[in-house]
Every structure is written in structure tokens, then in C-alpha cells.
Amino acid sequence: MKSFWFAILVIFCAQWGMAQEKEGQPTDQQSAEKKQLDSIQANLKRALDSLLKNTPNTLNTIVLKQKLKEITPKKPKEPEQVGWKNKGKFSILFNQSAFNFDWQGGGTSNVAGNAVLNYEFNYKKNSLTWDNKILADYGLTFLKDENFARKTNDRIEFNSRIGQRIGQGHWNYSLFVNFRSQFAKGYRFSKDPDTDETIRTEETHFFSPAFIQIGPGLLWKKSDNLNLNIAPVTVRMIFVDDQFTSGPDYVDGDYFGVDAGESSRFEFGGSLAAYAKFELFKNVTMEQLLNLYSNYIEDAANVDIDYTLNLNLVVNKYISGSFAFQAIYDDNATGAFQIREVIGLGLNYEF
């Protein structure tokens, strides 16, 4: 019985080995095709050698490059968007520093975090485009031995823009709407001269301030990553909580340009919005946003500026490094530039 099973095993192994050997060998058809290709390649090489041997190598190189360019298959164009298209990205950035008691170089231990949400939902059909974008950005830093956390950023913004293409170029008639505010209360921090304790005074909160802009204009749109919108007729409304404008010592215009006892301010002017995004190096992209606004009613030459620079380094699908720089000039808020800079390593989720 053992001999029987041994014989079966030997036969199976022999058949399996023959099958593997046969599988690794090309079929007669494959062999014929390979010989045919080798013959064509050899004939083509002999013909080229015969044609090119009497001409300079420089000229041969130019001619061959041009011919290769002609016969190289072109990349198929991406299908043009029709209807709605949406995409989103959620990021969390971290930053941390720690110093022990014996550290002599100075420093304060801290932990910081920043959450960013970018969501776009855009519509396109024929010569009509409708672009919508939501930006939410909130960050906190916690300092050792401090009673209060401090904000590193707090912004909620919604942009909507409709464009109707003019002819076959890049220019469009446009209409835009922009809303901007913040999520949480903002404080000014100071020190009690007697106890040296930290004192915080509320200065802002949700919808105080809030900015709404709307205006028709012209849009130059080369692509989703490069465009310029000019709106020479723009209405801007500024909304605030009147508790910040009702103090006995309040002076008209001190709080985002709003008069004493009022909760809103109307402005009429012109605006410009530019956007550019491109790849600096492999896996490194740069994004720039510039918004300008001039109030025709008051100090037209005094232009409000909001500039943002974002650098993004992709490590893999879920991890990236980022650097953000923002500069704002608005003399209704303060008479100097407001500067913000954030750098960190983050986790990403795209949807």
C-alpha cells in the first residue's frame, strides 16, 4: 500500500514539474511573433544606419528627436467637467516644544494644534461655471503655567462665484459673494501689575466682526489653479456686536470702522481677487491668494490687503508638512499689518 501511494506521489510531482516547465516556455505563436519583431527591429536599424551614416550626428539627433515627437502617442485629454464636482480635505497640524527645569537657554513648554477644512463644490456646463469654496481653520496653543489657551488661528470663510464665458477666450462675466467671520471668542491678554496673573479681555466673537461682500465684474480664468476676478462695483457690509461700540469712551470708527452704538457699517467700493497654485518641485506645491478692496466712500486710496501663502509638502497620502503665512492690512481694525505664520507636520484626509 505504501508503494502505491509513493508511486502516485512520484507521478504527481513529475506532472507538476512538466507543467511548470511548459508554462515557463513560450508557445509557438509567441516565438514566431518574437522572431518577427526581432527581424523588423534589425531591418529598421540597418535602414537607419544606411540613411544616417553620411550626415552629421547633430543633424541626425535633431531629425530623430522630431520624428520621435511625431510618433509618440499623445496623452488623452481629460474629459471636460459637466455638472457638479466636489472635493474636500481635512488636515490636523501639530506642534510641540518641551523644556525641563534645568534648561538654561530659556523657553516655555507648549503644545499647539490646528484643524483645517477645505471643501469645494463646483458646477460647470458649457460656458457657465459656478465655483463654491468653504474654508474653516481653527487652532489653539497651550502654554505651560498659563491658565488660558490662546488661539493661533480662527477663520470661517465662504466664497461663491458665477462666471459666464465671453466667446472662446479666458474672460467671463462674473458675480461673486464672500462671507468671512470667526468661530470663537478672541481675547487681548495682559498682566495684572499687582499679582502678575494673566488677564484676558474679550474683543471679538462669532459674527463680530463678520464681513459680507458682493459684486459683479470680470473674471479671467485660465484654469482652476490660475484666475483673477475684478469687481469695480462691490458692496461690503461689516457686522459687529453693539456691546463693543456702546462704551462711554468709544470713539466712532474704533471698532472695525463702526460708529458708536451701531452694529453694522456699509461700504461701497471695488475689489480684486487673485489665485495661483502650482508645483514648485515634486510633491511640493505653492498656493497664493490675494484680495484687495478699496472703499470709494471713505479714503479710496487706502486699500485693504489680505494675502495668504501656503506651502505644502506631501510625504504620503495621509502625512504632509505645511507652512502658512498671512498678512492683513485693514485700517478699520488696526493701523498696521496683521501677520500670522504657522508651520507643522499634519495628518490629512481627502474626500
- The pLDDT tens digits of the residues spanning 103-140 come to 877 778 889 999 999 999 999 999 999 999 999 999 99
What is the C-alpha separation between 123 and 129, in angstroms, rounded? Answer: 6
Terminal Cα distance for the chain, rounded? 64
- In this structure, the answer to whether residues 203 and 137 fall within a common structural domain is yes
Other CB atoms within 10 Å distance of the CB of residue 183: 14
- In this structure, the answer to whether residues 25 and 162 fall within a common structural domain is no
- In this structure, the answer to whether residues 66 and 199 fall within a common structural domain is no
**pLDDT number for residue 17:** 53
Residue with cell 509638502: 313
What is the C-alpha separation between 27 and 33, in angstroms, rounded? Answer: 10
Q: Is residue 2 part of a domain?
A: no
> How, if at all, do strands 319-329 and 338-350 pair?
antiparallel
What's the DSSP call for residue 183?
Answer: S
Q: Is residue 37 part of a domain?
A: yes
- In this structure, the answer to whether residues 182 and 111 fall within a common structural domain is yes
Other CB atoms within 10 Å distance of the CB of residue 348: 19
Range of weakest confidence among 4-8, 97-101, 137-141, 290-294: 4-8
Mean pLDDT of 167-194: 94
- In this structure, the answer to whether residues 299 and 266 fall within a common structural domain is yes
The answer to whether the beta carbons of residues 276 and 263 sit under 8 Å apart is no
Q: Is residue 23 part of a domain?
A: yes
- Name which of 236, 241, 244 is nearest 263 in CA terms: 241
Other CB atoms within 10 Å distance of the CB of residue 320: 20
Domain edge (last residue) among 45, 71, 97:
71
Q: Is residue 152 part of a domain?
A: yes
- The larger pLDDT score, comparing residue 19 to residue 129, is at 129
- Name which of 267, 288, 263 is nearest 215 in CA terms: 267
Range of weakest confidence among 260-264, 265-269, 333-337: 333-337
The predicted model scores a pTM of 0.77
Other CB atoms within 10 Å distance of the CB of residue 115: 15
Range of weakest confidence among 108-117, 169-178, 238-247: 108-117
Q: Is residue 82 part of a domain?
A: no
Q: Is residue 77 part of a domain?
A: no
- Name which of 201, 90, 219 is nearest 163 in CA terms: 219
- In this structure, the answer to whether residues 236 and 292 fall within a common structural domain is yes
How many domains is the chain partitioned into structurally? 2
